[in-house]
Structure 1
Amino acid sequence: MTPVSTPHSSIPGTADLDNPLYYLENFETVVRWVRRHHSDLLTAEETGHIDSLLTLNQPERALVARLVMRTGELFRVEKLNYPEFGVPVADAASGLSRSGWIDDAPDIPLTEVFRLFTLAELRPALADRISATGLPAAAAKGLLKDTLIPLHPDPAPVEHWLPNLPTRVIRLNHMALFDRLRLMFFGNLRQSWSDFVLVELGHQQYEQVPLSAESRAFDERDDVDRYLVMHHCRERLDNGESPETVWQEVPAASDNAWLESRRGRLLFELGKLAERGRNTELALAAYEQSGHREARLRQLRLLERLKRYREAWQLIIAAGEEPRFGAEERGLERIQSRLAKKLGKTPPPPSARPALTAFTLELDNPEGHSVEWVAMEHLSQPEAPVAYVENTLINGLFGLLCWPALFAPVPGAFFHPFHTGPVDLYRDDFVERRQALFDDCLDALATDDYKSRIRNTWRQKQGAASPFVIWPALSEDLLNLALECIPTHHLELMFRRLLDNLREHRSGFPDLIRFQPGHSDPNRRYEMIEVKGPGDRLQDHQTRWLEFCVGQDIPVSVCYVRWARIAE
């Protein structure tokens, strides 16, 4: 479908948090945005529902917004308390009933009755049904559910279940429409209405990226439908439905790379559940179709466990030609070594790995601080201050220097004004689509210009949401020390490794950084230190960063902490 050609220059504002109905204003900002920019992906019936919603009176619109942000579709009116409406909730509900937005007498499955009502309310109302099963009157709620629900599978009005309880249960209609609107706005269903409307909007600053008519999450209604089907498949798995049943509903592969990555995650989870249920053939089929970054290792381990060694060997040889991510290389190496012994083949030579510098500290911790904090306090000296930075410092410097590339108005990267970062950040072509922009940012490292760029961005963008800059963790003093002490070529090496695999390489940095501005060697005016407490060990992604740094002569070490014994 051709996107609706509407101007995107007018950026909607966020509501004043002092307004008690701020959430309604934010909610309607989202609804209006989708209505305006995605109407070609909506049916006439759907746009009609949106338009009718926006003509309701304010209390009714506010109640719809509140119900959309709550869990489920069924609600007890007497439990809803929203004084900011200015009218009783029951009156607003009656208005919505007349306009078709709620069902005032829905049939309710017994599962929902147990969710909506307390045990104290249920016991007397269900006394006859409980007695008929032979359960004691004081049986726990879980036991009552497990026993009664299979015996009463059909939904019925609340009066059928609880005849003598004064209550009013309503069902919000058109919830599927709101899921569709949420998906088209966010590009995912991971973000909830409540988090966004009640928390993010108004509490967060956003970089304002120019938007065009092509700046949308979806261009085809079929893609929206495919996403929703996959989302419902995942919900069914999470709710305990068998992977064998859900497998039948998983959509076929498509040429949409983004949706294929989601399909890969769905198949990976389905495969794990099938494997857990000992349906190994289904698990292998799901892993093989998945394309998920970890699916191939799971497939190989399962083949190995099934003693299908030759099949696993053929797969591992093909996988070695094109590893999907850094951690897979180590996993493939381990499995191939085991398979080689079983098949009488020559095992691959172990990859060369540089030795890591390590030291041990024996420290007291009477106040129960984290091991990183205790190590930082012990190691810090006036002439050599130590900061606890973990993944925030190098990522932050990268994010500040490369801000123009990260927030470039690339089609498909930003499709509403409230993104915390580009939505294609972890797609395979993310860097390629911005290569010239990243080259320009990193070229600044050839002179001291990069320092002024970083400082200017730190000042100008202060507080704006970024996938790499955690503002509270990046003080001006820390920023200046880092720029003074970390050599330019070290920053470039680390930044380029980040760009090789942003998803994987943005984590695993050492916990601490020790600055030594007065050191005579400009390459040794800082040191990154990974801290490990008793019983803790290095994770693969941490080891890979440490080994990379050692290989590039970037100063790093591992500090093992032992707690001093308290004298009795």
Structure 2
Amino acid sequence: MSDTDYPSQLQSAALDDPLYYLRNMDTVVAWVSSHHGDLLTADENRRLTDFLALPEAARALLTRLVMRSGELFRSDRLHYPELPEPEHVALSALVGEGWLDAEPELSLDDLFRLFTLPELRPAFADRVAEAGGSPARVSKRQLRELVAGASVESGPVEQWLGDGAGQVVRVRDMALFDRVRLMFFGNLRQSWTDFVLVELGLQRFESVPFTPASRAFHQRADVDTYLLMHQCREQLDEGVPPAEVWQQVPPPTENPWLSSRRDRLLLELGRQAERAGDRELALQALAASGHREARLKHLRLLERMKRHDTAWHMATEWQQGELSDAEAQGLHRILKRLAPKVGQPRPALAEPPAIRERTLTLPPGAPMPVELVVQSHLHTEQAPVFYVENTLINGLFGLLCWPVIFEPIPGAFFHPFHTGPVDLTREDFVSRRRAGFERCFEQLHDGRYRQVILDRFHVKQELANPFVAWPVLSEALLALAMDCIPAAHLEAMFRRLLDNIREHRSGFPDLIRFEPGAPDPAARYEMIEVKGPGDRLQDHQRRWLHFFARHGMPASVCYLRWKEDTV
């Protein structure tokens, strides 16, 4: 396969098309065939080609079945009036082309799931009578228990219910469609309905170049590894003992994207092993996981197992690296508890700087959110106030760093309909793009950032970006913000945002007040968190306010009180 860019623009169907779900499924199959055909076997590629060649009604019916749960379906329960031909014609075509098995083997569980109690009673009336029961009064659960021991393990529906039973069909290629779904979405968490039944035209997406080098899956074995990890996770969710699942976890891989998925699997396996009382396995799984949450859990488990020396050594070593605020807080608490148990002095935690506070007492007015009450009270022509919460700083960051956010790094994008990179909140998101972010921050140093942000605001208008909330931003607001917020302050906030995107994208103060005429350039804005009666700061809000205080950035908390509350 060459490194030639694949076309990245696909058309999504409108919901007023009765067969829009088929149009979108055709898009998925064609995309995977084009972009990942080398990761499919010759037979799989042929089957996908055959799918696209099916009559429209047959293709639409098969799409409907693939979207539903399970592989077994009753033909008399398939009613899709939008099909261009009757259901029985489409069924016949699918059976003839080998997409459906018209005589599948049914287990007793399959039978009781597919058929109703009135349909089942006649077939097992003798068995009920032998047990001394009345077929007319037995419940479905009771019937299932009565016939369990006397029935064969599996057989066609006629063997169970006789010649008058309705037809049951089984989709034969569900594993292939699951593989296609994985290579299109990049996960098996999303169902077909997340794409096939969505009006994608309601959003506009950034055009990201797709090349063989930017794919998450570089070889078929990568897809197989993912499928195996997914199977492990499903088993954990179904209650299979963690020790059994541990034996099936694939070995470490050189694929960074797959390594991240494996880390998350091991984190969950460690959690469940500890709950099951298998602490040694939990330690193994958590130690093998590179997930950032695994480290604190590993230390806490060592602490509970009274392996204090080992925990202390690991914690003090980890303390030397880069930590998010939440990690630093959790680590300090562990070290504080461990210190007396290993004969060490308790570590001192620097007192966080004081948060500026004010209380605003106003008479009750028209019912409205407290943020808007304070905004209205503080707003003046010389010092306008905007309700921005998490949107302004995130938006400035998203516009400045747009090319880096949408860089086609392996495992970041799987199809043209992503609102942002799928690895956005994973541990290595920043490290894999470090150089690009530094180039963006250089524009803050030399002044280019202002024009870059404003130009991008116009050029990228309404394109989906996980940091940009278009309805809230305007050119005037962005220009005023850059007039009043020093570039050094923006850089400090952007760098903290990158320390832990999952945690730090939220928690910004509700309001921002600008004062362009202030003589001190560092005092031409103020961020204001608003708290009404009975409300208090949340941890992520408090951490941002401590950050602002440490860096000398103007921010405060405004406690709103009503006049009758002060009597």
Q: What percent of counterpart residues are identical?
A: 56
Q: Which moved more, 1:275-284 or 1:555-564?
A: 555-564
Provide the residue aligned with 1:37 in structure 2: 35
Task: Report how far residue 231 of structure 1 moved.
Answer: 0.7
Q: Whole-Å Cα distance in 2 between the matches of residues 144 and 507 of structure 1?
A: 53
1:40-59 alignment runs, 5 A limit: 40-59=38-57
The answer as to 2:519 corresponding to 1:523 is no
- Residue 260 and residue 171 in structure 1: after superposition, are their counterparts in 2 closer, same or farther (change >3 A)? same
Q: Which moved more, 1:300-309 or 1:384-393?
A: 384-393
Q: Whole-Å Cα distance in 2 between the matches of residues 407 and 315 of structure 1?
A: 36
Q: Whole-Å Cα distance in 1 between the matches of residues 19 and 237 of structure 2?
A: 34
Provide the residue aligned with 1:22 in structure 2: 20
- Residue 433 and residue 238 in structure 1: after superposition, are their counterparts in 2 closer, same or farther (change >3 A)? closer
Would you say the 8 A contact 1:444–1:450 is kept in 2? Answer: yes
SS at 2:348 equivalent:
coil
Corresponding letter in the other structure for 2:224: D
1:124-163 alignment runs, 5 A limit: 154-158=153-157
SS at 2:552 equivalent:
coil
Provide, for residues 263-305 of structure 1, a one-character-per-residue CA deviation record: whole Å limited to 9, x for no partner.
1111111111121122222222211111211112112212222
- Residue 560 and residue 57 in structure 1: after superposition, are their counterparts in 2 closer, same or farther (change >3 A)? same
Q: Which moved more, 1:266-275 or 1:497-506?
A: 497-506
Please list every run of 5 or more consecutive structure 2 residues that lacks an aligned counterpart in the other structure: none
Would you say the 8 A contact 1:405–1:437 is kept in 2? Answer: yes
Please list every run of 5 or more consecutive structure 1 residues that lacks an aligned counterpart in the other structure: none
Task: Report how far residue 516 of structure 1 moved.
Answer: 4.5
Q: Whole-Å Cα distance in 2 between the matches of residues 149 and 542 of structure 1?
A: 60
1:153-552 alignment runs, 5 A limit: 154-158=153-157, 167-199=166-198, 201-322=200-321, 325-359=324-358, 373-381=369-377, 382-383=379-380, 386-410=385-409, 413-426=412-425, 430-431=429-430, 433-446=432-445, 449-476=448-475, 478-517=477-516, 519=518, 521-531=520-530, 538-552=537-551
Task: Report how far residue 116 of structure 1 moved.
Answer: 4.8
Task: Report how far residue 146 of structure 1 moved.
Answer: 9.8
- Residue 499 and residue 162 in structure 1: after superposition, are their counterparts in 2 closer, same or farther (change >3 A)? same
Q: Whole-Å Cα distance in 1 between the matches of residues 519 and 469 of structure 2?
A: 32
- Residue 87 and residue 268 in structure 1: after superposition, are their counterparts in 2 closer, same or farther (change >3 A)? same
Would you say the 8 A contact 1:210–1:409 is kept in 2? Answer: yes
- Residue 375 and residue 218 in structure 1: after superposition, are their counterparts in 2 closer, same or farther (change >3 A)? same
Would you say the 8 A contact 1:78–1:168 is kept in 2? Answer: yes
Would you say the 8 A contact 1:401–1:454 is kept in 2? Answer: yes
Would you say the 8 A contact 1:218–1:224 is kept in 2? Answer: yes
Provide, for residues 103-155 of structure 1, a one-character-per-residue CA deviation record: whole Å limited to 9, x for no partner.
223334454556556678778887887895989988998x7699689868944
- Residue 390 and residue 378 in structure 1: after superposition, are their counterparts in 2 closer, same or farther (change >3 A)? closer
Would you say the 8 A contact 1:14–1:202 is kept in 2? Answer: yes
Would you say the 8 A contact 2:353–2:550 is kept in 1? Answer: yes
Q: Whole-Å Cα distance in 1 between the matches of residues 450 and 189 of structure 2?
A: 37
Matched residue count: 561
Would you say the 8 A contact 1:360–1:559 is kept in 2? Answer: yes
- Residue 538 and residue 221 in structure 1: after superposition, are their counterparts in 2 closer, same or farther (change >3 A)? farther
Task: Report how far residue 66 of structure 1 moved.
Answer: 2.0
Would you say the 8 A contact 1:6–1:37 is kept in 2? Answer: no
Q: Whole-Å Cα distance in 2 between the matches of residues 164 and 378 of structure 1?
A: 75
- Residue 263 and residue 165 in structure 1: after superposition, are their counterparts in 2 closer, same or farther (change >3 A)? farther
Q: Which moved more, 1:393-402 or 1:204-213?
A: 204-213
Provide, for residues 393-440 of structure 1, a one-character-per-residue CA deviation record: whole Å limited to 9, x for no partner.
211111111112222344554453333223444455544554554344
Q: Which moved more, 1:462-471 or 1:526-535?
A: 526-535
Would you say the 8 A contact 1:380–1:514 is kept in 2? Answer: no
Provide the residue aligned with 1:60 in structure 2: 58
Would you say the 8 A contact 1:229–1:250 is kept in 2? Answer: yes
Provide the residue aligned with 1:94 in structure 2: 92
TM-score normalized by the length of structure 1:
0.86
Task: Report how far residue 249 of structure 1 moved.
Answer: 0.9
- Residue 187 and residue 527 in structure 1: after superposition, are their counterparts in 2 closer, same or farther (change >3 A)? same
Would you say the 8 A contact 1:327–1:540 is kept in 2? Answer: no
Provide, for residues 292-320 of structure 1, a one-character-per-residue CA deviation record: whole Å limited to 9, x for no partner.
11112112212222323223223323322
Q: Whole-Å Cα distance in 2 between the matches of residues 396 and 374 of structure 1?
A: 24
- Residue 380 and residue 10 in structure 1: after superposition, are their counterparts in 2 closer, same or farther (change >3 A)? closer
- Residue 304 and residue 44 in structure 1: after superposition, are their counterparts in 2 closer, same or farther (change >3 A)? same
TM-score normalized by the length of structure 2:
0.86
Q: Whole-Å Cα distance in 1 between the matches of residues 521 and 333 of structure 2?
A: 39
Would you say the 8 A contact 2:8–2:208 is kept in 1? Answer: no
Q: Whole-Å Cα distance in 1 between the matches of residues 123 and 362 of structure 2?
A: 61
Would you say the 8 A contact 1:510–1:530 is kept in 2? Answer: yes
Q: Whole-Å Cα distance in 1 between the matches of residues 414 and 217 of structure 2?
A: 9
Would you say the 8 A contact 1:106–1:170 is kept in 2? Answer: yes
- Residue 180 and residue 365 in structure 1: after superposition, are their counterparts in 2 closer, same or farther (change >3 A)? farther
- Residue 308 and residue 53 in structure 1: after superposition, are their counterparts in 2 closer, same or farther (change >3 A)? same
Q: Whole-Å Cα distance in 2 between the matches of residues 233 and 451 of structure 1?
A: 49
Q: Which moved more, 1:556-565 or 1:394-403?
A: 556-565
Task: Report how far residue 560 of structure 1 moved.
Answer: 5.1
Corresponding letter in the other structure for 1:88: P
Q: Whole-Å Cα distance in 2 between the matches of residues 230 and 530 of structure 1?
A: 43
Task: Report how far residue 524 of structure 1 moved.
Answer: 3.3
Q: Which moved more, 1:105-114 or 1:189-198?
A: 105-114
Task: Report how far residue 247 of structure 1 moved.
Answer: 1.5
Provide, for residues 40-82 of structure 1, a one-character-per-residue CA deviation record: whole Å limited to 9, x for no partner.
2111121121121111111111112222222222334344332
